[in-house]
């Protein structure tokens, strides 16, 4: 992974950089936020930014948002820093706060938890082994690769695996989610822009093509791209050069291109939603990822991996999975594929008690929807909840919720999740799928209402 560090902090950040390098990170150190913004604008890139808490952190994060630079930020400060300063850093948008001098294990945990970059593909099923064998065969070439499969099957993970096995493995891997960026902004995101090219273009910024120069560019969910942009993308692939928005001269590029889609691309071509010539340019090699239901041999090793991951993240014991619980996992349909399995095991880690994970901790998506007697909104809240502990009796579980308001259920969900996270606000917000600011506002409201709120651990937001 690539780490950008901004600040001095009496040499402590240099020590943090050494630890990160020892853990396999590539580190760029700059003195202030202006230099950090310049590095990001000019395509030097990073997967994570660590910033001295004494620098204008809120201004830096606002600048990132205004220029649509999406990157997690971690604040850091010398031990003894005013607790209010650390809290303000989190409120400003920092993902975590790290005290210095740095602890090697803490730095490693932050790198893993915030960046979560991994080239490993967890598998055991023979079907997946064949897919990886094909991926390894085509990885050393520079040919474009199209990775297809249902949502949640791990298309980006496989793309990173291909990059790690390629001759460009020591260069950058840059990913763009074409479905997550508005159409009017995607062109600038991909090709960059010159200062003043449009409102908000406060400085020249290189796009993802230039940032990935020499390495691999992943265009995730490419079928969501507007046809006008598809034409510009086709030219970039054919000519190996791009034009910045507002630019006057082309820029040469050297990249390996990987694209992914969860749609039937040939059908999209027939319907006129995707250019046929671009499809053939991308589809030199097609690797199709099977759904999880078609590779159930991967469920046990994936379950073990997610148990270890979320037990560590939440500071709880990594309990073994009981045979009965594994049987429940093996019998499920997994419409959400690996992503659904990951969420299920995350809930199980938080709900489990005793010496192992029992079936009552396995809350499978869709089970409660089969009961027509419960109000739809209430069922939806229950399915999403990681805090409602099932009794094992479906009717009893629903009966316990009937008559309660959504606000009551939401409050218990938040409080119980926070309790399971040992008071860690950041982890609780991530599990609940809300911002840390929203969580803090809710907790402030509950405190005013006289509800007991689990305290934060010392040194944790």
Residue 392 in domain = yes
Domain assignment of residue 58, given as a range: 2-115
Residue 214's domain is classified under what CATH number? 3.40.50.300
Q: Which DSSP symbol is given to 114?
A: I
- Reference 220, options 252, 186, 253; nearest CA is 186
Per residue in 126-146, pLDDT (tens digit) is 999 999 999 999 999 999 999
Residue 144 and residue 266 in one domain: yes
460 domain residue, yes or no: no
pLDDT at 367: 62
- Distance separating alpha carbons of residues 375 and 371, to the nearest angstrom: 9
CA distances from 229 to 12, 185, 224, 275 (A): 46, 11, 10, 10
For residue 246, count CB atoms less than 10 angstroms from its CB and return exposed for 0-12, middle for 13-18, buried for 19 or more.
Answer: middle
- Over residues 186-191, the mean pLDDT reads 90
207 versus 378: which is more confidently predicted? 207
* Tokens 């309660």 found at: 404
Number of neighbouring beta carbons within 10 Å of residue 80 = 7
Instruction: Report which DSSP code applies to 356.
Output: S
The pLDDT value given to residue 457: 52
Closest residue by Cα to residue 48 from 64, 62, 67? 64
DSSP 320: P
Is 219 among the domain residues?
A: yes
Residue indicated by tokens 């009496």 = 10
Q: How far is CA 10 from CA 31, 52, 357, in A?
A: 12, 11, 46
Q: How far are the Cα atoms of 27, 354, 382, 417, 421 from residue 389, in angstroms, in the given order?
A: 44, 14, 10, 11, 15
386-435 tens-digit pLDDT: 344 444 444 555 555 666 677 777 888 888 888 777 777 877 877 787 87
Q: What's the domain count of the chain?
A: 3
- Which CATH number covers residue 36? 3.40.50.2300
Instruction: Identify which of 231, 246, 240 has the alpha carbon closest to the alpha carbon of residue 278.
Output: 231
The 3-state DSSP class for residue 158 equals helix
Same domain (yes/no): 283, 309: no
- Cβ atoms of 202 and 67 within 8 Å: the answer is yes
Are residues 317 and 237 part of one domain?
Answer: no
Instruction: Give residue 387's pLDDT.
Output: 41
What distance lies between CA 192 and its chain's CA centroid?
A: 23
Domain boundary among 255, 290, 325: 290
């Amino acid at each position: 992974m690539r780490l950008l560090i901004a600040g001095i902090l009496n040499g402590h950040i240099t020590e943090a950089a050494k630890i990160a390098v020892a853990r396999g990170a590539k580190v760029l150190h700059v003195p202030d936020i202006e230099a950090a913004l310049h590095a990001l604008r000019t395509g030097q890139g990073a997967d994570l930014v660590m910033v001295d808490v004494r620098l204008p952190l809120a201004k830096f994060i606002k600048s990132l948002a205004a220029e649509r630079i999406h990157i997690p930020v971690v604040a850091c400060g010398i031990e003894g820093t005013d607790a209010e300063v650390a809290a303000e850093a989190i409120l400003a948008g920092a993902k975590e706060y790290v005290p210095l001098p740095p602890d090697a294990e803490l730095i490693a945990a932050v790198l893993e938890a915030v960046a979560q970059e991994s080239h490993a593909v967890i598998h055991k099923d023979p079907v997946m082994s064949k897919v990886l064998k094909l991926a390894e065969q085509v990885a050393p070439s520079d040919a474009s690769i199209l990775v297809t499969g249902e949502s949640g099957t791990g298309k980006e993970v496989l793309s990173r695996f291909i990059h790690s096995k390629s001759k460009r493995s020591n260069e950058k891997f840059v990913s763009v989610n074409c479905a997550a960026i508005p159409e009017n902004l995607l062109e600038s995101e991909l090709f960059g822009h010159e200062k003043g090219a449009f409102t908000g273009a406060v400085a020249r910024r290189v796009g993802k093509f230039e940032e990935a120069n020499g390495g691999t560019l992943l265009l995730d969910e490419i079928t969501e791209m507007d046809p006008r942009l598809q034409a510009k993308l086709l030219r970039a692939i054919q000519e190996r050069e791009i034009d910045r928005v507002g630019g006057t001269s082309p820029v040469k590029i050297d990249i390996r291109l990987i694209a992914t889609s969860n749609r039937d691309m040939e059908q999209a071509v027939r319907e006129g939603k995707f250019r046929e010539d671009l499809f053939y340019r991308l589809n030199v090699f097609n690797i199709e990822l099977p759904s999880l239901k078609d590779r159930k041999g991967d469920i046990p090793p994936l379950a073990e991996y997610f148990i270890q991951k979320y037990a560590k993240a939440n500071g709880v014991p990594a309990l073994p999975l009981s045979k009965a619980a594994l049987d429940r996992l093996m019998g499920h349909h997994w419409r959400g594929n690996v992503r659904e399995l990951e969420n299920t095991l995350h809930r199980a880690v938080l709900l489990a008690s005793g010496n192992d994970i029992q079936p009552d901790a396995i809350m499978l998506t869709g089970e409660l929807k089969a009961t027509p007697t419960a109000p739809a909104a209430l069922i939806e809240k229950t399915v999403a909840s990681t805090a409602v502990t099932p009794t094992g009796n479906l009717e009893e579980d629903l009966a316990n919720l009937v008559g309660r308001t959504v606000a009551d259920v939401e409050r218990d969900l938040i409080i119980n999740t926070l309790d399971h996270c040992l008071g860690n606000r950041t982890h609780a917000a991530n599990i609940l799928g809300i911002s840390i600011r929203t969580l803090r506002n809710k907790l402030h409201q509950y405190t005013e209402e006289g509800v007991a709120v689990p305290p934060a651990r010392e040194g944790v937001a």
